[in-house]
């Protein structure tokens, strides 16, 4: 079989050979799957997380809170020193929020925007000087279908992810001239510890899970591996002409209107 590779010799399957990546929120769920996949495809990968204690070889863990600029700068510097440079930043750390626009007080709005939006700003700001040294620089932001579709009881969360979507496009425009690509993924509901916690808190977890599954035309939740696959696609040097895009990984939730089955 002919080996597939790009013009610079990166082979498909090992397309991250020699590249260095940092994944925020990489100790759980989508971030953990993305860190593992990038490593399996040849990257050296560091994880930045509030609690990196579960991160093990070949990944390295760095403790930081994306709401704290000093801790982000220290963790990015330590990761870059360990890795020997930085080519890929995955801004994935995030938290949820529930309710309509009436339900969350100002403190909660500030807290969620601080993590979900300003977290992306802080890590990207710290990483940019290093990304500028890379010939294959890429930033991938974990956004959400909530940025593109109106979901009930998600006013604050949706606003935070809508801002991440707009920021992704603005950053892509700002940095395209220096060879840094910026894209985001919009997952639907993904089967991660986060969603497990949501289901556990529901009055009827089985009914809640069935409702979430039915909302996605595929009839099931997205897997963390599938979200990771999309992140790796955007981060890969094989996607060198892809910047400023929003990639849905939502089982068709945002774009499709299938007819309900007729009984
Ligand atoms: N699970 C879903 O259905 C879903 C859907 C769309 C988008 N997303 C997005 O995917 C991302 C990951 O979600 P997940 O489901 O894997 O969640 P998760 O809770 O399983 O993992 C999130 C990780 O982020 C870390 N984190 C949280 N706050 C942090 C902070 N202040 N500083 C550093 N690290 C922090 C946590 O410690 C955790 O390891 C989030 O941005 C979320 O908004 C999730």
Task: Report residue 6's pLDDT band, with 50, 70 and 90 as the boundaries.
Answer: low
Condensed to tens digits (0 to 9), the pLDDT of residues 28-39 reads 999 999 999 999
- Ligand 1 in reach of 254 Cβ (< 6 A): no
Cα 6 to averaged position of ligand 1 atoms, centre (Å): 32
Catalytic position from the list 75, 157, 172, 234: 157
User: Is 233 annotated as catalytic?
Assistant: no
- Ligand 1 in reach of 65 Cβ (< 6 A): yes
Q: Best of 192, 246, 251 to mutate for ligand 1, by most ligand atoms within 8 A of CB? A: 192
Token pair 């995955």 in the structure block, residue: 90
Cα 225 to averaged position of ligand 1 atoms, centre (Å): 14
What global pTM score does this model have? 0.96
Secondary structure E strands in the chain: 20-24, 44-49, 60-63, 88-91, 138-142, 181-187, 246-249
Condensed to tens digits (0 to 9), the pLDDT of residues 215-224 reads 999 999 999 9
What does residue 80 show for φ and ψ, rounded to 5 degrees?
A: -65, -40
Q: What is the mean pLDDT of residues 144-156?
A: 98
Question: Alpha-carbon distance 44 to 24, whole Å?
Answer: 14
Q: Cα separations (Å) of 205 from 65, 178, 210, 212?
A: 30, 48, 9, 11
Question: Alpha-carbon distance 26 to 79, whole Å?
Answer: 13
Task: Report residue 11's pLDDT band, with 50, 70 and 90 as the boundaries.
Answer: low
Whether 57 contacts 33, CB under 8 Å: no
Cα torsion at 119, 110, 101, 152 (round to 10°)? 30
Cα 164 to averaged position of ligand 1 atoms, centre (Å): 14
- Residues near 190 by beta carbon (within 8 Å), at least 6 away in sequence: 29, 30, 221, 222, 223, 224, 226, 227, 249
Range from 80-84, 103-107, 138-142, 256-260 carrying the lowest mean pLDDT? 256-260
Cα 231 to averaged position of ligand 1 atoms, centre (Å): 14
Whether 203 contacts 197, CB under 8 Å: no
* b/e sequence 222-254, b meaning 16+ C-beta within 10 Å: bebebbbebbbbbbbbbbbeebeebbbbbbebb
Whether 31 contacts 21, CB under 8 Å: no
CB atoms within 10 A of CB 260: 6
- The protein residue with its alpha carbon nearest to ligand 1, atom 8, reads 144
Cis peptide before 58 (omega within 30 of 0): yes
Q: What is the DSSP string of 118-161?
A: HHHHHHHHHHHHHHTT-SS-EEEEE--GGGTS--TTBHHHHHHH
Task: Report residue 260's pLDDT band, with 50, 70 and 90 as the boundaries.
Answer: confident
Q: What is the mean pLDDT of residues 132-157?
A: 98
- The protein residue with its alpha carbon nearest to ligand 1, atom 7, reads 144
- From the CA of 197, give the closest atom in ligand 1: 19
Domains with residue ranges and CATH for the chain: 20-187+223-249 (3.40.50.720), 191-221 (no CATH)
Whether 227 contacts 140, CB under 8 Å: no
- Ligand 1 in reach of 27 Cβ (< 6 A): yes
Condensed to tens digits (0 to 9), the pLDDT of residues 31-66 reads 999 999 999 999 999 999 999 999 999 999 999 999
């Amino acid at each position: 079989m002919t080996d597939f590779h790009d013009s610079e010799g990166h082979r498909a399957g090992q397309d991250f050979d020699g590249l260095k990546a940092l994944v925020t929120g990489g100790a759980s769920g989508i971030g953990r799957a993305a860190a593992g996949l990038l490593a399996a495809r040849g990257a050296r990968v560091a994880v930045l997380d509030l609690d990196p204690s579960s991160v093990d070889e070949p990944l390295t863990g760095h403790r930081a809170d994306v709401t704290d600029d000093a801790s982000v700068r220290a963790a990015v510097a330590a990761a870059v020193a360990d890795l020997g440079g930085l080519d890929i930043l995955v801004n994935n750390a995030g938290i949820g929020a529930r309710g309509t626009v009436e339900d969350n007080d100002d403190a909660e709005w500030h807290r969620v925007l601080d993590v979900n939006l300003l977290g992306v700003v802080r890590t990207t700001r710290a990483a940019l000087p290093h990304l500028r040294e890379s010939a294959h620089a890429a930033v991938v932001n974990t956004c959400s279908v909530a940025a593109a579709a109106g979901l009930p009881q998600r006013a604050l969360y949706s606003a935070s992810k809508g801002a991440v979507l707009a920021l992704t496009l603005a950053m892509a425009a700002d940095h395209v001239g220096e060879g840094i690509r910026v894209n985001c993924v919009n997952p639907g509901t993904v089967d991660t510890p986060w969603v497990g916690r949501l289901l556990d808190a529901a009055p009827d977890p089985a009914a809640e899970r069935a409702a979430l599954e039915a909302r996605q035309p595929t009839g099931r939740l997205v897997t963390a591996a599938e979200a990771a696959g999309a992140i790796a696609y955007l981060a890969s040097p094989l996607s060198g002409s892809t910047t400023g895009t929003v990639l849905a990984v939502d089982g068709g939730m945002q774009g499709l209107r299938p007819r309900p089955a007729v009984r």
